[in-house]
Chain A
Amino acid sequence: MNIIVCVKQVPEISDVRVNPETGSLVREGVASILNPFCEYALDHAVRLKNSVPDVHITAVSMGPPQAKAVLLRALELGADRGVLVSDRRFAGADTWATALTLAAAVRANQPAFDLVLVGKQAIDGDTAQVGPEMAEILGVPQIMYGVEMELMPNGKRLRVRRESETGYQVLESRLPVLVSASKGETIRRLPSFADILAARAKPMDMITADSLDLSEEQLGLQGSYTQVVKIFPPRAQKECRKLEGLTPALACGEIVSFLKQEKFI
């Protein structure tokens, strides 16, 4: 079984800061990490590998050369091979151009894939679009927000428990399929030190746009339908109303009325 896991390097940010002059994210003093949702996706791949024989995991990342660090992390956590898709011509890619590039990289490196796993979104852009777009481009079914995955006994179908707005759904799909991962109950794995050392000996390939079956017009900014015009942090608002001098029952009533009035409930 060939599993592809798409991974992205993101800044470890809990408090987004934007340089007011350049309009870009301030990355000074911010560490780069493997996007946590990608790590959950990888976790599902490793679970499958531990539960059925002959599973091979390829981690694929599109990014600058320093994104090699997150592929190393993926190799430490259980991936068998890393592929870094890196080229200056990818600069400025929006979600569509990114999905197109990643899909082309998947086709070029592992055309006989059975499962593509992605994080439900990256914590920097938060678009949650690349996964679904990739599924469309690759022409495979997609299941979003997966939290549990199980390969059916015939080895040809995958059962996925996915989060929905009202609870959970359990869906089954034939392979190949693309699944995006939510956090669910996942606690991030810790590799052993032996895993960390062994990862350095695993294969890691770097490919450029030349290896992909894409035209120049499909790459980077040129191939993007959207452009980031401006990045700004949301305006922090703190408006509060304090209920005082009320019995608990009356206070509850007030709160419920407020929530109804504001259409929260």
Chain B
Amino acid sequence: MIPRRTDFTAAFLRSFAVQGSWNYRTMIGGGLGYALTPLLRRIHAGDPVALRQAIERHAGSFNAHPYLSPVAIGALARLEHEGRDAETCDRFRTALRGPLGALGDQAVWAGWRPFCALVTILAVLSGADARLAVMAFFIIYNAGHVGLRFWGFRMGWHAGLDVGGALNRSPLRALGGRLMPVNQALTGAVVVMLVARAPGFEPGAWEAGLVAVAALGAFILPSRGGVLAMGLLFAATAAWFF
């Protein structure tokens, strides 16, 4: 039976809790099964055995970026609706894991989210009201977040097995790639402004020079730079006490 609008709405809303039972064995598998349940109940209406088998199958090991998990929910529901066999569903789910994780990490975690956060920080450090700026961050960021989930869910349901091709044709990969250099530049601006706006701290020329060397050195050697930078913060604490 084809799912109704209410089933789609319920599954979409449940996708926001897809990471609710994250664990090291099945990762978001339990959440995937939970989100799929309203659709599977309709698809397998009148066949409780098929419903249980489908839920057990989809609650197995799975991982994806949470914002792109609706792609998997939509596509897997489509496969179940089309009556594909269990092996096809399993192989499809396994094939989806990598792309949905990598694409989301690049486009959202390394692209959209830092972009929105860094622009917000720059706005406040340039004089904008912190409360308004944070509210704007929340609204604009989530317009992208919820829009991506909705697009993914629709696309997954309509594309079914061809979801890989649809993802490749989407602008997501390009978005992440384009935002990364922008985010680097924004981070440079934010670091300079945070240092300059630190309360009661007025850096002289040599201090400003040291700050530039520290930032650039850490950029070039991030693994050592990160440890050294944290060490400096703890050394600052020690200097205060001793």
A binds B: no
> Chain A residues in contact with chain B, CB under 8 A?
none
